Amino acid sequence: MKTATDPRHRRRAKLIQHLFASSFHRQPNLLVRYIWQKLPLIDPIIAGAAPEWPLSKLNPVDLAILRLAVYELTIDKSAPFKVIIDEAVELAKEFGGEASPGFINGALGNIVSTYESQS
Residue 97, Cα to own-chain centre: how many angstroms? Answer: 15
Q: Which residue has the higher pLDDT, 104 or 118?
A: 104
14 closest CA partner among 48, 74, 49, 65: 65
Asked, for residue 103, whether it belongs to a domain, the answer is yes
Asked, for residue 1, whether it belongs to a domain, the answer is no
Asked, for residue 25, whether it belongs to a domain, the answer is yes
Asked, for residue 20, whether it belongs to a domain, the answer is yes
Separation CA 103–CA 111 (nearest Å): 12
Q: What is the mean pLDDT of residues 27-43?
A: 92
Domain total in the chain? 1
Question: Residue 114's pLDDT is what?
Answer: 82
Asked, for residue 16, whether it belongs to a domain, the answer is yes
Question: Residue 43's pLDDT is what?
Answer: 96
Question: Residue 3's pLDDT is what?
Answer: 64
CATH number of the CATH domain containing 51: 1.10.940.10
DSSP state for residue 117 in the 8-state scheme: H
Asked, for residue 69, whether it belongs to a domain, the answer is yes
Asked, for residue 47, whether it belongs to a domain, the answer is yes
Q: What is the mean pLDDT of residues 31-47?
A: 95
CB 101 within 8 A of CB 92: yes
Give the C-alpha distances (Å, rounded to integers) separating 107 from 90, 113, 117: 14, 10, 16
Question: Residue 19's pLDDT is what?
Answer: 94
In the predicted structure, residue 1 carries a pLDDT above the cut 80 = no
Give the C-alpha distances (Å, rounded to integers) separating 43 from 31, 35, 51, 100: 19, 11, 12, 18
Domain, as residue range, for 83: 7-118
Separation CA 40–CA 42 (nearest Å): 6
Asked, for residue 68, whether it belongs to a domain, the answer is yes
In tens, the pLDDT along 57-109 reads: 999 999 999 999 999 999 999 999 999 999 999 999 999 999 999 999 999 99
In the predicted structure, residue 16 carries a pLDDT above the cut 80 = yes
